[in-house]
Amino acid sequence: MSQVPVDELSFEQAFAELEEIVRTLEAGNQPLEEALALYERGMQLATRCQKLLDAAELRIRQLVPNSEGGYDVVEFRGSLDKRD
């Protein structure tokens, strides 16, 4: 199992490790202490994944000029494809 600090993992790395932990815990062959350590790491990985997903959501919002000369943040409704 990877011992890279959770905060240094990309979403894909954290998710893959989380999936492996789930498979390992579901097999149920670990001593209690090892299962607890895996569970704790899994919770850290799940939190990391959620933070990265939240950050990605913010990146796909857009600023739209409003009538008062400022900007409003709105949900991105267009395409991420620059050809559109």
d(CA 49, CA 74): 24
pLDDT band (50, 70, 90) for residue 64: confident
d(CA 80, CA 18): 28
Domains of the chain: 6-75 (1.10.287)
With tokens 């919770």, the residue in question is: 43
For 17-54, write each residue's pLDDT tens digit: 999 999 999 999 999 999 999 999 999 999 999 999 98
Q: Assign 61 to helix, strand or coil.
A: strand
* Chain centre to alpha carbon of residue 68: 36
